Each structure stands twice: as structure tokens, then as C-alpha cells.
Amino acid sequence: MLDILPETPGPLISDVRQNGAGPLHAGLLDELLLFTHPVILGTGRPLFDRHDRATELDLLEQRSFDEGVTLHRYAVRRQTA
């Protein structure tokens, strides 16, 4: 599916819920919304599977909600050649 998205005109995705870093690697994400829940599980998966290169982010917003949940909204910096 990632092969056809860059060829599609207009807005591609308004909300991406993903497993893995495919859309991030493909340059399809402008922003990341990360919600943190205050729970320690002791096990789990990395946030992005198979993400092997640094991606710089700019913090746009941070908020706190009931029960200690936090939101961090980041802009994804574009790689320059």
C-alpha cells in the first residue's frame, strides 16, 4: 500500500495508526501524536519496529489529562539532501 500512496494526489492520511515505521520511513507523516499512559507493564514492544535511523522532531504541543495521561504533538522534520 505504501507504494501507491505517494502517487495519490491531495491529502493522503489524516490519522495514521500504525505498527512499525513504514509511513515514517516513507516520508508520509507530518506529525506524530504520542499519548503516554502512566502504567508500567514490564514488557512490550518498541514504539516503532525496525526504525533504524534518527528522525528529528519539533515539539508543537504538550497537554496533560485526567489520570496522568499526557499528549505530545510533534512535527516531523523533513530530511534535506
Cut 0.85: pTM above it = no
Superfamily of domain 5-76: Dihydrofolate Reductase, subunit A (3.40.430.10)
Q: Please report, for residues 15, 53, 60, 67, the alpha-carbon distance to residue 7 in angstroms, rounded to integers and kept in the order given.
A: 18, 24, 28, 42
- State the pLDDT confidence band at 3, using cuts at 50, 70 and 90: low
Q: At residue 35, does pLDDT exceed 70?
A: yes
Taking the C-alpha atoms of residue 27 and residue 34, their distance in angstroms, rounded to an integer, is 18
Rounded to whole angstroms, how far apart are CA atoms 71 and 65?
8
Q: Looking at residue 10, what is its pLDDT?
A: 47
Highest-confidence segment of 25-34, 46-55, 61-70: 61-70
Cell of 4: 501507491
User: Quick check: 15 pLDDT over 50?
Assistant: no
What residues does each domain of the chain span? 5-76
